A and B are shown apart, each in its own frame.
Chain A
Amino acid sequence: MFERGSSIDVRGIGRHTIESVLRLGYAARFFAMTVMHSGTSFRRPRLIIRELYYSGVLSLIIILVSGLFVGMVLGFQGYQTLKTYGSESALGVLVALSLVRELGPVVSALLFASRAGSAMTAEIGLMKTTEQLSAMEMMAVDPIARVVAPRFWAGVISMPLLAALFSAMGVYGGYLIGVVLIGVDEGSFWSQMQSAVDFREDVVNGVIKSFVFGIAVTWIALFEGYDAPPTAEGVSGATTRTVVTSSLAILGLDFILTAFMFRGV
């Protein structure tokens, strides 16, 4: 009998691809609805303030500690490498530029995604599973306006602040290791840094990056929670997906933004 030899599920692949595209479209609609239903969040800032506490303040410890460690490592590694070219005095430049342009926005976004992002996904997924979102709808309260939008804006506001704190801690960490521990000249550490780090090119670009990351991470976290299958496995899968998808998005967006921003420098 003449049979089909291939065991590749072509229809399955096609179906999966189409489903992914549909899901992306749904996610885009979700984003639009979140933004359009933000009126309540701005009329009642308490809602955003509450979420700022849970996403921002509670992420402070991990951001500050990580920033310090990253800065210290930069100090060590930077010194080792610069020493071979006799340019130890440029350590401040190395530490500051690495942090402000890249590591600050990117690493703090990754940490935010793991800590605050996954928490948001789990919270919303759980509310969906225990029918709290349906209950809200039945009580004529729009769950997107009341639950999703405040968290979105809290994430967007927190992200640049956390990135700045990360970078600042990192510079301090680099200073601790480079100047205090190893003995690089304090004067040249700071003065070379100041002339090399440009406000508009570096600091502002870093802030723009963290805004973009904030939007991406918070959007992904909230969508995964909202779309999670209302079961225990569903929510846990959604939480994992948030961290993975956010991380990929951050790194991908970082590449695109860096290519645009730092073209001519």
Chain B
Amino acid sequence: MERSTLDLWVGLFVIAGIGALTILALKVGNMGSFAGSDTYRLSAQFTNIGGLKPRAAVKSAGVVVGRVAEITFDNDKFMGKVVMNIEKRYKFPKDTSASILTSGLLGEQYVGLEAGADDAMLKDGDSIKLTQSAVVLEKLIGQFLYNKAAEGGPSK
């Protein structure tokens, strides 16, 4: 096999391989969507963040407007603090509320933002005041059973 032909094939092979990796990263994976976008940071505190994970979606009106950057525990207020990266082109009023919702019945959890009516907009570093924590299934069931027991109790 001629040296130059061999080089050609090897070169094509390496290019194809790296190309496949790039396709996987960009088209198949989610690297393309948020890596280079300009974002600003907003934070919100929840009494229970439920099953929310970093890189979960932040949606408003069902459209993805950002991603959860990090989740930490605020030791002073004993609340979960969620920091989000919101795309710069989306501005939200100061009285926007954030809730932790579940996609579908048992799907992944995400942060849902409902815009308020204020004229002033949230800026980089601001925190959202109105929050609604995640629905924790066990508490719900516990509540249900308690209610049921309370109903049945007095009548006995």
| Interface pair B33/A161, CB less than 8 Å apart | no
Interface of B is mostly: helix
How big is chain A's contact interface, by range? 20 to 34
Binding site for B on A (CB under 8 A): 46, 49-50, 52-53, 56-57, 60, 96, 100, 157-158, 160-162, 164-165, 167-168, 171, 190, 193-195, 197-199, 202-203, 206-207
A32 to chain B, nearest CB (A): 28
| Interface pair B55/A161, CB less than 8 Å apart | no
State which residues 55-92 of B face A: CB under 8 Å: 55, 57, 64
Instruction: List 12 extra interface pairs beyond A60-B16, A157-B14, A168-B28, CB under 8 A.
Output: A49-B7, A52-B13, A53-B1, A53-B9, A160-B17, A160-B21, A161-B21, A171-B28, A197-B28, A197-B29, A197-B30, A199-B31
| Interface pair A57/B10, CB less than 8 Å apart | yes
A9 to B6, CA, bound (A): 54
How big is chain B's contact interface, by range? 20 to 34
What residues on A are CB-neighbors of B9 within 8 Å? Answer: 53, 57
| Interface pair A100/B16, CB less than 8 Å apart | no
| 8 A-B interface contacts by CB (under 8 A) | A52-B14, A56-B17, A57-B12, A161-B16, A171-B24, A194-B27, A197-B30, A203-B31
What residues on A are CB-neighbors of B20 within 8 Å? Answer: 161, 164-165, 167-168
Closest to B11 in A: A49
Closest to A265 in B: B53
B25 within 8 Å of A by Cβ? yes
Chain A CB within 10 Å, residue with most, of B3, B10, B31, B55: B10
B23 within 8 Å of A by Cβ? yes
Closest to A104 in B: B24
A207 to B12, CA, bound (A): 20
B121 within 8 Å of A by Cβ? no
What residues on A are CB-neighbors of B27 within 8 Å? Answer: 190, 194
A7 to chain B, nearest CB (A): 55
Closest to A196 in B: B30
